[in-house]
Amino acid sequence: MTTDAKETVVIVVGAGPSGLSTAASLHKLSIPYIILEREDCIASLFNKKAYDRLHLHLAKQFCQLAHMPFPATYPTYVSRSDFLKYLDHYASHFKINPKFRNTVQFAKYDEDRKKWWVEAAVEDGGVRCYAGRFLVVATGENSDVFIPEVDGLSEFKGEVIHSTEYKSGKGYENKKVLVVGAGNSGMEIALDLSNHGAKTAIVVRSPVHISSRWSINFGLSLLRFIPLDWVDLLLVLLGKVMYGDLSKYGIQRPKEGPILIKIRDGKYPVINVGTVKKIKYGEIQVLPALKSIKHGGNEVVFENGTCHQFDAILFATGFKRSTHLWLRGGDCLLNKDGFPQQMYPNHWKGENGLYCAGLARRGLHTAAMDAQNIAHHIFNVISK
């Protein structure tokens, strides 16, 4: 190892909401840090990889970063552009200046020097080195796109995109578009496509809870007063009253409740923004799991044997993490899939000054708590 590295106390990797909350919390305690970000902007997921009509799914009190509430003038459900304005203001208020276009590709604890050694790829193929006593992984649950392997996909004649590349339904009018994945992104993008005149179908492979924005936020606030099982029972009941039995449209409800699934598997219930009505009116078709693409064509084969032609396939199939590719010796903190080894609320702290923020699959609220816990812990260690 060379010694030609920029030295600091804390190295934060990732300038999304979690990294920004961490930076602000460190700043408040006057702890020096460096924040590294592979893109050229903060919160790249919301800046560059989200569709135009996106609003935060949860009410604003659940989505604030550390130490700064949303402006009182903001509506309950914050739009993408308002969220970005808030984040810009946040970064300038706490004097956060990430080192952009620094893609961390290696990090290891140096036992001799008792420091983390971090290498980042920068523009023009160079590598920049950093050394710090503490390392905070804030690279997000959604750091890398995930598209499942589908037989014949590479030969599909139409367009293939991931939900992160989708902005709006403009340009898809009268096109036949297949959305794969019925999470929040898939359901909302299907609605947007259909609103723009695309002939839209959506693959709903596994059972899914559909709730309204209102009932989920109501449920979350009730959690403080009544047990989780009861909240889940109530949410399922509300869902039945609001949407009826959707199984005749190809949408099944899971046996377990929405909050339990959210907390245990990190899977959000789908918050209906109008898609259900379109499905009931037959304006959006529900299809079973994908089987393959007919070689060299634009015909898609489904699990139950039916075939349909499409002009485009949009994969709203989620994300994977890549920490295992660059973080050495982090096994006590993160598993192979990049999620914490320890259950919440003990998920954020590893060994040798290693931490993670925003990986507990509990949304922005817990990410802000992680950030404050980490900053306080570091403060206590260095004050000793």
Ligand X SMILES: Cc1cc2nc3c(=O)[nH]c(=O)nc-3n(C[C@H](O)[C@H](O)[C@H](O)COP(=O)(O)OP(=O)(O)OC[C@H]3O[C@@H](n4cnc5c(N)ncnc54)[C@H](O)[C@@H]3O)c2cc1C
Q: Which stretch binds ligand NAG (CB under 6 A): 10-18, 37-45, 92-100, 300-308?
A: 300-308
Which residue's structure tokens are 């899971």?
Answer: 254
Give yes or no for a contact between 112 and 41, defined as CB atoms under 8 angstroms apart: no
Residue 98: which of 27, 33, 25, 5 has the closest Cα?
A: 33
275's contact among ligand X, ligand NAG, none, with CB below 5 to 8 A by partner kind, is none
250's contact among ligand NAG, ligand X, none, with CB below 5 to 8 A by partner kind, is ligand NAG
Token output for 341:
């080894």
Half-sphere exposure (Cβ direction) of 279: Cα atoms closer than 13 Å: 25
First and final C-alpha spacing in the chain: 29
Closest residue to ligand NAG: CB criterion: 304
232's contact among ligand NAG, ligand X, none, with CB below 5 to 8 A by partner kind, is none
User: Which of 8, 18, 215, 372 is the binder for ligand X (CB under 6 A)?
Assistant: 18
Long-range contacts of 213-219 (CB under 8 A, 24+ apart): 213/57, 213/77, 213/271, 213/272, 213/273, 215/239, 215/242, 216/57, 216/58, 216/258, 216/269, 216/271, 217/58, 217/59, 217/62, 219/258, 219/259
139 touches ligand X by CB under 6 A: yes
288's contact among ligand NAG, ligand X, none, with CB below 5 to 8 A by partner kind, is ligand NAG
Give the binding-site size for ligand X (rule: CB under 6 A).
34
What is d(CA 148, CA 317) in angstroms, rounded to the nearest whole number? 7
370's contact among ligand NAG, ligand X, none, with CB below 5 to 8 A by partner kind, is none
119 touches ligand X by CB under 6 A: no
How many CB atoms within 10 Å of residue 92? 10
Q: How far is the CB of 133 from ligand X (least distance, A)?
A: 19
Q: How far is the CB of 286 from ligand NAG (least distance, A)?
A: 6
Query: Interface residues for ligand NAG in 305-324 (CB under 6 A)?
Result: 305-306
Token output for 362:
């509990």
- Which is nearer to ligand X, 42 or 204 (by Cβ)? 42
Give the DSSP letter of residue 326.
Answer: H
Closest residue to ligand X: CB criterion: 16
- Which is nearer to ligand NAG, 250 or 254 (by Cβ)? 250
358 touches ligand X by CB under 6 A: yes
The backbone region for 161, taken as left when phi is positive above 0, alpha when psi lies in -120 to 50, beta otherwise, is beta
- Which is nearer to ligand NAG, 136 or 204 (by Cβ)? 204
38 touches ligand X by CB under 6 A: yes
Residue 374: which of 137, 43, 97 has the closest Cα?
A: 137
Q: How far is CA 129 from CA 3, 105, 132, 345, in A?
A: 9, 10, 10, 32
User: Which of 8, 11, 14, 176 is the binder for ligand X (CB under 6 A)?
Assistant: 14
Q: Which amino acid is at 383?
A: S
54's contact among ligand X, ligand NAG, none, with CB below 5 to 8 A by partner kind, is ligand X
Which residue's structure tokens are 């485009």?
Answer: 312
Q: How far is the CB of 181 from ligand NAG (least distance, A)?
A: 16
- Which is nearer to ligand X, 16 or 350 (by Cβ)? 16
- SS3 assignment for 294-324: CCCCCEEEECCCCEEECCEEEECCCEECCHH
340 touches ligand X by CB under 6 A: no
Q: How far is the CB of 2 from ligand NAG (least distance, A)?
A: 60
Q: Which residues bind ligand X (CB under 6 A)?
A: 13-19, 36-39, 43-45, 50, 54, 56-58, 63, 103-104, 138-143, 185, 326, 358, 363-364, 367
Q: Which residues bind ligand NAG (CB under 6 A)?
A: 250, 286-288, 304-306
